Chains A and B, each alone.
Chain A
C-alpha cells in the first residue's frame, strides 16, 4: 500500500456553495452568478438609462416632460397586458390570445355602452374587464380539462375571436364620432397639466389603471398563497400537485386574471386611438412576450417578476416610439427589440450554464 502526501488545500468541491475565489473579479463573478432575478432588473435599468442618454445626446429635445408623459400614455396599456402575460408565463404557460381578447372586450364594451345609453366610463371598464376575464377563464378551463398545451389553446382562442369579429361584426370599425363620449375623454383626460411651450402638457389618466394593475399583480404574485402556487406550478407541476395545489383553481385564476387585464388594456387602446377597429392589435403578441422574457420571465416557468416585466416593456416601448427621434425609421424597432431579446436571453442562459458547469451538470451546454 502506497501513501502519498496530502498537503494540497482542499479544492472547491461540487457540494460547496459557490464561494468568491478571492479578489474583485472573483467577487464580481460570484455576485453575477448569485444575482439571478436581480441581475435582470439591474441589467435592464442600465440598458434603459444608457439608451436614454444616447437618444438625449443625439436629440436634446428628447429629455422633456412631454416625451415622458407621452411614453406613459402610449405604454400604459401595453404594460398592463404584459403583467397578465407575466402571470401566465410564471405558471409555465404562454398566452397568444390576449390581444384578440382585448379588442373583443373593447368592442363589446363600446357596443353595450352605446346600445344601453349608459355613457359611463366605469360601466365600460367593468364590461371590458368582465368580457376579458370570461374569455380568459374559458382558456383556463380548456387548458385544465383537456390538459392541452397552453400555446395551442390560446392560439385557437385567438383564431376563434379574430374570426368571430370578422364574420359577425363584418370587421366594421366604430369611428370616433360614434364612440361614447366617456371613452373619447378617457383617452385624452389628464390628471394635471402645466403650460409648456406653445400649449399644455399633462399626465394621462392612464397612469391610474396602470398603478392599480401593477399593485394588484404584485400583491397577487408575492403576497397571496395562490400567487405562490402559480410560481410553484411553473417551477415543478408534479410537485405542486403532490403538495395539494388545486390546479383548476390556479388555472382559472391565471387565465381569468390575464384576460381581465387584456380587457382593460383593450378599452384603453381604443380610447387612446379613438377608433374601435377589430383588425388592429392582433399580430403584436410577440412584442409583449418579448418584453416579458427580456424582463426575466422564463418560457419554462417558475420565474419572473413585476419590476422585470415593467422594465422589459419600458425598453420595448422606448424602442417602438423613440427611434424616429434619433433619425431611424420606425421599421428599425422590430430589429432592435429582436436584438435585445437575443442579447438578454443569451446573457441569462450563459449565467445558468456557468453555474451548471461548476456543478458538473452538462444540461444546456
Chain B
C-alpha cells in the first residue's frame, strides 16, 4: 500500500537546481534506499518531506492527502520523522529526557511528570530492543548510544515513515550491524524507512528498492536484484570505476621508514610491532575500540604510549605532541574532519597551508603574504579540489572535496609517513575513487602510508599488507593473494 508519493518536486537555490521534478513513492513497511553522490539532492529532497525546506513546485501526497508544502510540526503529526546526520540530540540532557522530548513538548499539559518521561523512554527503547542508562547525560555516552536515542525519540510518536540521513557514517562498525537490525525490526512493525547512505554494502543488505539521484534528477529506480554495486556506482556518478588492487610493484630494496617495537598503552593496546617500507601502504582492520585509532594517535604524539619504541628513518621518535611527529615527517588525516581536521569557515588556502606555515616562514617568523596562495593553489590543483577559487570557505565544499583539503593540508608538510583514519567515511563513490588514486600516487612517490578503515574493499584495493586488530593486539596479517575482502571479513566475523 502506498504511504507517501512525491510528484514533480523541484527546488532551486541561488545558482543551482537542487531538485528537478523528482517523483518518488514509498509503500507501507518498505525500506527505500536513496542513493546519490554528495550534492545530488538527497538531503534537500528529504528536507522537503519533513518540512525543513519548502519545495518550489510539486506535490507531497501522504495517504491520498495532497500538500504543496509541509511544516516540521505538520509532518511529525502525519507520522513522518527524520534522524539527522548530526542526530539533533541534546547532549546536556539525560537519555530519558532526550527520548521523551517530543512527547513532552507536544503534550497538551504544560507540566511534566518525570516517571511518565521514564515510561515513554523505556517503551520507545524497548521497541528497538535497546537498553540504555536512562539517567545518564547523553553527551557522556558514545555515538552509537546517541543514535539509538535519536531513533527511539522518533518512535515516541505515531511514526509511520522514518527518514535516516547517513545514519551509519559516524558509526563504529559493530554498531552498524545493530543499526541495520533495528531497521529490519521497524520494517517488521510496518514502519516505512527512507535510508540514505554512501556505504553500498549495507544498502544492498536492507534495501527493498533503490532510487538513484544525480544532479537533482531521479535517474533510475531498481530492485536490488537488478543491480550490482558497480552498476549502482555508475548510475550515481555516470563514471565507471576501476576497483582493481593496488600495484604490487613494491621494490625489494625499499628502505624501512617506520618500525614500531612492542608498543603498549594500558587499556588500549598491547605489544604492537610492525614496520613500514617506503612506498608501502599497510592497512589496519578491526572493530572500533580494538586499538587502531589509539595507535595512530600515539604515533602522532596525541596519546603517548606507556612502553615500546618507535623508529622513524633510523631515528628513535618519542612523540609527546603533534609537533614532534610533524618534525619527524608524520602526518595524520583524522577520522572526524569537521572537528579535528578543518577550519570550516576559513578559506581553502588557509586550511591547506595551516600546517606548513612554520616551515615556510621567513625572518622573525613572518609569513610572506604570497605563501598562502602559492601553497593553496598548488594543492587545489594537485588533489583536484572542485572549487572556483582557493579563497572559498571550506564549508562550501562537498564532503569529498573537504576531505581532499584535509589531505592537501597534511601533504603540504611533505610527510614521509601518512596515517589515514577512515579517510573516505561519508564520501560519495566518485570522490572516494579520486582519493584512492591520490593515495596510490603518494605510495608510488615513496611515501609510507598507514590506512585504518572499516571499509574492507578500500583496504584490499589500497594496501600491500593488512593487519587485523582485536582487543588491542595484532592478531592476523594478510598480504598478496591472501588479501581479499572475504578473507578479512571472515577473520573479523570470527571475533564475534
Contact = CB atoms under 8 A, between A and B. Distances in A.
Interface of A: 1-4, 6, 8-18, 34, 36, 222-229, 231-232, 234-236, 238-240, 242-245, 298, 301-303, 355, 359-360, 362-363
A231 B482 contact: no
B107 interface: yes
A242 B163 CA distance: 14
B112 interface: yes
Nearest to A359: B142
B297 A360 contact: yes
A301 B91 CA distance: 11
Nearest to A236: B90
A236 B88 contact: yes
Identify which of B105, B339, B482 gathers the most chain A CB atoms within 10 Å of its CB.
B105
A232 B473 contact: no
Interface stretch (B179-187, B247-255, B264-272, B383-391): B264-272
Nearest to A2: B477
A302 B106 contact: no
Given A14-B288, A362-B340, A4 B475 contact: yes
A223 B73 CA distance: 23
B482 A15 contact: no
B111 interface: yes
B289 to A, nearest CB: 3
B474 A244 contact: no
A155 B45 CA distance: 42
A36 B105 contact: no
B112 A360 contact: no
Chain B interface residue number, banded: 35 or more
Given A223-B112, A235-B93, A11 B267 contact: yes
Interface in B79-93: 84, 86, 88-93
B91 A302 contact: yes
B285 interface: no
A238 B52 CA distance: 12
B133 interface: yes
B470 A6 contact: yes
A222 B93 CA distance: 12
Interface string B78-121: 00000010101111110001000110111101111000000000
Interface string B343-368: 00000000000000000000000000
Given A6-B475, A236-B88, 19 more contacts: A1-B487, A4-B476, A6-B470, A11-B269, A15-B143, A15-B172, A15-B175, A15-B288, A224-B110, A225-B104, A228-B104, A232-B93, A235-B93, A238-B86, A239-B88, A302-B92, A355-B140, A360-B303, A363-B339
Contacts of A355: 140
Contacts of B92: 231, 234-235, 298, 301-303
Contacts of B475: 3-4, 6
A222 B104 CA distance: 12
A300 to B, nearest CB: 9
A15 B289 contact: yes
Given A13-B288, A225-B107, A360-B297, A243 B141 contact: no
Contacts of A222: 112
A34 B102 CA distance: 26
B52 A242 contact: yes
Contacts of B106: 244
Contacts of A359: 142
14 contacts: A2-B477, A6-B471, A14-B288, A15-B142, A15-B174, A224-B110, A224-B112, A228-B105, A231-B93, A232-B93, A236-B88, A243-B102, A244-B106, A245-B105
Identify which of A8, A13, A229, A232 gathers the most chain B CB atoms within 10 Å of its CB.
A13
B91 A235 contact: yes
